[in-house]
Structure 1
């Protein structure tokens, strides 16, 4: 039985590892539960580390969402019933800031492979070769770092052959100025260096302000350390059983099953009986 004390006014869910299965699909059962939730009047937000160039993919994965928070919170979109999308927030960081962050991280942990995601969607994500890039739909382009890290950026991606994503995160937090950048990782082995103040919680705050909703009326689902900001803010947080230990420790409860077994759908189906 779910441990939720009261019905939420807003539900925010992570995508990869939470509602998206290992085969990169969302099940019909989960799609149905999310659609029913949105139809009940609860505001539904999809919150992902995916950048804005994956907006269409995100809309396909959670078509019932009223809002999408992308790029770790830097971009917020309202998804309207007439199939239009309105951008509500857009944050970027100068490439030179990311390049300096890269220098400091490498001084701390040794060589890493690095990519820069430009704010201009007509520019490819560029930088070092990245053989294990997890998003095949996104085109990468090899380029010298001084070229890659130039102009406004969504974020930088740093990968080490000798350190996990969480290990890189801890090291980066020790050497990077939080007044210049925000660092996180999303469970795929990459450190992500974002504009200062950018978190999923900050992106969701844009939606809360629009409707005058308090965090105590928010329910969130997630699995990776980039979900911690919304877990720490929400009135109720549900971690996936396949989630990172830090996330499970911050959760109000654990979902009844993992992302491959409709854990979020199972939870929402029980919630919908109470609405």
Structure 2
């Protein structure tokens, strides 16, 4: 039995680890549940750390979404009108700022491997060699840091061989002034360094402002530490049982199953049965 007693006006869900399964697909059951939710008049938002260069993949994974919040909240797109996409927010950070954050973090934890994701989608994600890069569909390019971190960036990716992603996040927060950059982590062992003030909650706020919706009327689903901002802001939040302990602790309740077993779909199906 779900713990929600009324339908929300807006539902925001993370993608990877939440609705996307371990084999990088979304099940037909989850697709159908999200479609039914949107058809019921609930505004559906996909909120992900994926950058704007992966917008087509995001639309494929959650085609019923009215809006997409990408790049940890830096980019917001309205996509309710067939193939028409309208950009509502576009935030970037200068590569030189990411390099300064990198200097501070390495002074604290020792050497890390670093990549820069340019705001220009024609440029590859570039930087240090990253043999364990988890997204094989994204092309990487190796280059000296002074070249890689040049120009406007979506974000930087920093990886330590000595620290887990959450451990690196804690260490970075000790030495990074939030007026320089925002640091987060998306559950794959990488610190993600974003423009100041960029969070999933900030991206969703763009959509809320458009419709005059309060956070009390928002339901969110998430699994990783980069979901914490929206989990803590929403009136009702559901963590995946496969999610990080910090996320589970922040959530209102836990989904009935994990991402590989249609946990979000099961929850939404129960939600749609509410009177």
With the length of structure 1 as denominator, give the TM-score of the two structures.
Answer: 0.99
1:179 is matched with: 179
**Residues in 1 aligned to 2:219 and 2:76: alpha-carbon distance in whole angstroms:** 18
The answer to whether the Cα contact below 8 Å between 2:5 and 2:274 also exists between their aligned partners in 1 is: no
SS at match of 2:129: coil
3-state SS, counterpart of residue 274 of structure 1:
coil
Q: Tell me the residue number matched to 1:268.
A: 268
Match of 2:206 in 1: 206
Alpha-carbon distance, 1:134 to partner: 1.2
- Could you list the per-position Cα deviations for residues 43-96 of structure 1 after superposition, in whole angstroms to 9, with x for gaps in the alignment? 000000000000000000000000000000000000022321111000000100
Q: Does residue 104 of the first structure (1) align with residue 104 of the second (2)?
A: yes
CA distance in structure 1 between the partners assigned to 2:176 and 2:82 by the alignment: 43
Paired with 1:51 and 1:134, the residues of 2 have a C-alpha distance of 14
What residue number does 2:162 align with?
162
Name the residue aligned to 1:115.
Answer: 115
User: What RMSD over aligned residues (CA atoms) do the two structures have, in Å?
Assistant: 0.6
**CA distance in 1 between partners of 2:75 and 2:180 (Å):** 18
In structure 1, C-alpha distance between the alignment counterparts of 2:170 and 2:82, rounded to whole Å: 43
Contact 2:6 2:274 in 1 (8 A): no
SS at match of 2:81: coil
- Structure 2 partner of 1:242: 242
CA distance in 1, matches of 2:236, 2:133: 33
Measure, in 2, the Cα distance between the counterparts of 1:105 and 1:228: 22
Matched, 1:66 2:66: yes
CA distances 1:195-226 after superposition (whole Å, capped 9, x unpaired) = 00000000000000000000000000000000
| In structure 1, distance between residues paired with 2:177 and 2:230 | 22
Normalised by the length of structure 2, the TM-score is: 0.99
Aligned partner of 2:192 in structure 1 is 192
Q: 1:119-165 CA deviation, whole Å, 9 max, x = no partner?
A: 11111110000111111111100000000111110000000111000
What is the Cα deviation at residue 5 of structure 1? 2.8
Distance in 1 (alpha carbons) for counterparts of 2:29 and 2:47: 20
For structure 1, list consecutive stretches of 5 or more residues without a partner in the other structure: none
Most deviating of 131-140 and 261-270: 131-140
For 1:163 and 1:143, locate their aligned partners in 2 and report how far apart those are by CA, in whole Å. Answer: 24
Write the mapping of 1:29-48 to structure 2, written as runs, cut at 5 A: 29-48=29-48
Task: Report the alpha carbon displacement of residue 175 of structure 1 after superposing the two structures with TM.
Answer: 0.4
Aligned partner of residue 122 in structure 1, secondary structure: coil
Size of the aligned set, in residue pairs, is: 275
Q: Tell me, what secondary structure is at the counterpart of 1:15?
A: coil
SS at match of 1:64: coil
Secondary structure, aligned partner of 1:80? strand
Structure 1: how far apart are the matches of 2:149 and 2:74?
18
Does residue 139 of structure 1 match 2:139? yes
Q: What is residue 88 of structure 2 aligned with on the other side?
A: 88
**Distance (whole Å) between structure 2 residues aligned to residue 205 and residue 149 of structure 1:** 29
Distance between the aligned counterparts of 1:41 and 1:7, measured in 2? 10
Q: Give, in whole Å, the separation in 1 of the partners of 2:82 and 2:2.
A: 34
